[in-house]
Amino acid sequence: MAKEKIVLAYSGGLDTSAIIPWLKENYDCEVICVCGDVGQGKETDGLEEKALKTGASKLYIEDLTEEFITDAVYPCVKANAVYEGKYLIGTSMARPIIAKRLVEIAKKEGATAICHGATGKGNDQVRFELTIKALAPEMKIIAPWRLDTWKMQSREDEMQYLADHGIPFEAGHDNSYSRDRNLWHLSHEGLELEDPANEPNYEHILQMSVTPEKAPDQPEYVTLDFEKGIPVAVNGEKLNPVALLTKLNEIGGRNGVGITDICENRVVGMKSRGVYETPGGTIMYYAHRELEYLCSDKKTQAFNEVASNKFTELVYSGEWYTPLREALSAYFDKVNETVTGTVKLKLYKGNIIPAGSTSPYSLYNESIASFTTGELYNHKDADGFINLFGLSMKVRAMMMENNKNK
């Protein structure tokens, strides 16, 4: 009789390496590992050998980088999705894309369960599991860190477990940050960041960027071209989605742009402090907003803020595959139909400074906005407008005055 198959979301780190023999021991199963490559670079090197040595029957390394950008990043850019005013939701955006592929491979392999190594404290358990429930409600989910049969509580426990099972594993240094990388960003947690009173040791932390102090002493200009809210060219050069974001990361990184320190509210309710590097994404978001300011009418722009907050909350909480998120994306697709044009920005030591925007859909009209009276605006029209606009205030003031005199 064939063994049960379990698909494991695999990174090659200590946690998921220990989970492979643990699954085989506790479920008498075949473990199929899946690594979703969303632009984490060299982190996927040597993974197949490591997974097989640790007891997996096979490893899928799935290149999801372009899908991640087009299907997750771009909808978030259109929505200006920023969590709690700072975090450009890089990890949040990637998890549904990875989990979707986990489901697809689990169905292809005839697996009965999907396993992940997220802890019971973090956001990722929610994001992975909500996606699995939405796309494969019949699929069993195994979260070892939440089970009584998982006895390991530290790196040392996991190393000892692997050694006891005769599995060689080369341990990394335990004096490093907990990091999550994709093409959009790099997150850092742990060490001195665990105390919000401590200033981040940026010289030790940063990998995608330089500190603003080490950025060039001369500003660098960059232009972005957008079509319907989507960036299509940098400095006049049309690029595919992966190459475009890679280019922006290089430009932003060398100018110290997109470094964020935030103490955020996790889905499960606790505060978590981390540092995020999002050099290219920060430029992209900023340019998109500049073009919106030019092309969106007043009421649409105001409602965008409301819709953006809800959209961001859904993405952060792992509710990507929900009717509301899909409906909000349809809204943002519609309002971005006129967000087309070119934005020029000046980058200088961590700062982004607007340097001009143009669009065929610009709502700026010099004849109206200029201090010089134009043909489309009569100053006298403001008399009636102000009288009506302020009528309720005037009526209330009259009432208060009458009551005061009684």
pLDDT of residue 368: 67
Q: Is 376 annotated as a binding residue?
A: no
- Beta bridge pairs of residue 238: 233
Rounded CA-CA distance 181/94 in Å is 10
Active-site position among 15, 37, 180, 225 = 15
The percentage of the chain sitting over the pLDDT mark of 90, rounded to a whole number, equals 87
pLDDT of residue 154: 86
- Beta bridge pairs of residue 230: 227
Q: Is 12 annotated as a binding residue?
A: yes
Q: Is 117 annotated as a binding residue?
A: yes
> Could you tell me which CATH class the domain 4-164 is placed in?
alpha beta
pLDDT of residue 155: 83
Q: Is 329 annotated as a binding residue?
A: no
Sketch the domain layout of the chain as residue ranges.
4-164, 178-296+339-358, 372-404
Q: Is 157 part of the annotated catalytic residue set?
A: no
pLDDT of residue 2: 77
Q: Is 15 part of the annotated catalytic residue set?
A: yes
Rounded CA-CA distance 64/42 in Å is 15
CB 29 within 8 A of CB 5: yes
Q: Is 16 annotated as a binding residue?
A: yes
Active-site position among 37, 124, 180, 225 = 124
Rounded CA-CA distance 137/107 in Å is 12
pLDDT of residue 175: 56
What percent of the residues of the chain are helix, what percent strand, and what percent coil, each to the nearest 5?
45, 20, 35
Q: What is the CA radius of gyration of the chain?
A: 26
Residues of the chain with pLDDT under 70: 1, 171-175, 367-375
Q: Is 146 part of the annotated catalytic residue set?
A: no
User: Side by side, which strands form the sheet with 351-358?
Assistant: 237-238, 230-234, 220-227, 341-348, 351-358
Q: Is 264 annotated as a binding residue?
A: yes
Q: Write the CATH number of the domain with boundaries 178-296+339-358.
A: 3.90.1260.10
Active-site position among 37, 95, 101, 329 = 95
The pLDDT tens digits for 15-67 are 999 999 999 999 999 999 999 999 998 888 899 999 999 999 999 999 999 99
Q: Is 187 annotated as a binding residue?
A: yes
The pLDDT tens digits for 372-401 are 656 677 788 889 999 999 999 999 999 999
pLDDT of residue 99: 98
Q: Is 321 annotated as a binding residue?
A: no
pLDDT of residue 382: 87
Q: Residue 113, CB half-sphere, CA atoms under 13 Å: how many?
A: 18
- Beta bridge pairs of residue 345: 222, 354
Q: Is 14 annotated as a binding residue?
A: yes
Q: Is 9 annotated as a binding residue?
A: yes
Q: Is 254 part of the annotated catalytic residue set?
A: no
pTM: 0.93
Going by C-beta distance under 8 Å and a sequence separation of 6 or more, which residues neighbour residue 313? 83
pLDDT of residue 373: 56
Q: Is 17 annotated as a binding residue?
A: yes
- Beta bridge pairs of residue 275: 188, 261
Q: Is 11 annotated as a binding residue?
A: yes
Active-site position among 45, 63, 178, 297 = 178
